[in-house]
Amino acid sequence: MPYFMYVSLQEDDKISIFSMDAATGGLTHRDDVAVPGGPAPLTLDPQRKFLHVARRGSRELSSYRIDQTNGSLSHISTGPLETDPCFLSTDRKGNYLLASYYEGSKVTVHPIGGDGAATAEPSQTVPTARGAHSIQTDPSNKFAFVPHIAGNGPNAIFQFTFEETTGNLTANNPARVSLQEELGPRHFCFHPNRDVLYFSNEQGGSVTGYNFDATAGTLSAFQTISTLPDGFDGANSCAQIQITPSGNYLYAPNRGHNSIACFSVDPRSGRLTSLGQVASEPVPRAINVDPTGNFLFAAGLESGRLASYRINSNTGHLEPLATYEVGRRPMWVLVTELPG
């Protein structure tokens, strides 16, 4: 089956499409799709038939159909938003698009039609707080979490129940997990085999593991571990976070130290052990692990280059492979497998 990568380039007003060689991780540029208005967050539906993008500059939401053979994009719809979302995801059934808004201090729910178009007019708007940085539903599609960074936000994770038939979000009990340290939770990922979530901490320069009560839909922290080497005292913040499909290794980028922090994951407890850091392109905001779990890609926000790494399946260490010129201000990197 073919593999394709989509990279949103905010200052070039386009999405670049690459094919990926599953054996080598090598990329070949296939196409550029004009997306005026500063494209940034990207997401796919679970069936990988449609791609959704937020145009942060023009405050618009667009949907595209994916050609299952060559990965090309065909525009379906574009509609206006009140403000610009910083993160998009679909629910586990692909019926609703969820969006979080850093400055907008809210999350929204957008129905997705049978043609793949996400309606720009939300079916629900839920005020939260400034610094809302991401939103996802859990594997059961019954719960959702919205982390808010520190300083410009409440330093908390908001907990919701999610009704998959209506798309409605309702505050869970408790409604939030408030953190004692100024960690600033930003993005998160689910362990593929355990009831565990991992959050990257923007201000804390760390990753926190949470046990997930799959019945109540609530979180409890069990570990926080630094993404930085001992002795580093420069400015740094964390961005996205990725775990391999096997659940054996986890990665988070350091913006400032300009590196990818690597961790092994204990298969029983879910606890993380640092494997050190690997140098990256300057300001690695966007990273992605491919569906095979063999490669990691990290885009340098300042350099406009994309670095590729091979993931050692035995150790989790990253082996630098190649660097690609992609364009100005790469904001999102998304690799997927299509049926062909």
**Structural domains of the chain in order of their starting residue, each with its CATH number:** 35-178 (2.130.10.10)
Residue 126 pLDDT: 98
| Spatial distance between the Cα atoms of 263 and 257, rounded to a whole number of angstroms | 17
Instruction: Dump pLDDT digits (tens) for 182-232.
Output: 999 999 999 999 999 999 999 999 999 999 999 999 999 999 999 999 999
Residues 251-276: what's their mean pLDDT? 98
Residues 44-72: what's their mean pLDDT? 97
- CB half-sphere exposure, 171, CA atoms < 13 A: 11
| Spatial distance between the Cα atoms of 228 and 206, rounded to a whole number of angstroms | 8
Structure tokens at 333: 């990197």
Kindly calculate the radius of gyration of the chain based on its CA atoms and give it in whole angstroms.
18
* HEC assignment per residue over 236-305: CEECCCEECCCCCEEEEEEECCCEEEEEEECCCCCCEEEEEEEECCCCEEEEEECCCCCEEEEEECCCCE
> How crowded is residue 270: how many other Cβ atoms within 10 Å of its Cβ?
22
Q: pLDDT-based confidence at 316, cuts 50/70/90?
A: very high
Residue 1 pLDDT: 75
| Spatial distance between the Cα atoms of 295 and 283, rounded to a whole number of angstroms | 19
Residues 277-285: what's their mean pLDDT? 98
> How crowded is residue 230: how many other Cβ atoms within 10 Å of its Cβ?
6
Residue 128 pLDDT: 98
Q: Which long-range contacts (CB under 8 A, 24 or more apart) does 296-302 make?
A: 296/242, 296/251, 296/260, 297/5, 297/333, 297/335, 298/253, 298/260, 298/333, 299/7, 299/326, 299/330, 299/331, 299/333, 300/258, 300/330, 301/255, 301/329, 301/330, 301/331
Listed residue (116, 109, 99) closest to 46, CA to CA: 116
Q: pLDDT-based confidence at 314, cuts 50/70/90?
A: very high
Listed residue (56, 55, 78, 52) closest to 66, CA to CA: 52
Residues 42-51: what's their mean pLDDT? 97
Listed residue (130, 126, 124, 79) closest to 104, CA to CA: 130
Give Cβ neighbours of residue 20 (< 8 Å, ≥ 6 apart). 3, 4, 5, 26, 27, 290, 295, 335
| Spatial distance between the Cα atoms of 320 and 136, rounded to a whole number of angstroms | 30
Mean pLDDT of the chain: 97
Residue 339 pLDDT: 86
Instruction: Dump pLDDT digits (tens) for 98-127.
Output: 999 999 999 999 999 999 999 999 999 999
Given a cut of 80, whether residue 74 has pLDDT beyond it is yes
Residues 294-314: what's their mean pLDDT? 98
Give Cβ neighbours of residue 79 (< 8 Å, ≥ 6 apart). 60, 61, 119, 120, 121
Given a cut of 90, whether residue 340 has pLDDT beyond it is no
Cα 35 off chain centre by? 20
In the block, residue with structure tokens 């930085």: 228
> How crowded is residue 187: how many other Cβ atoms within 10 Å of its Cβ?
21
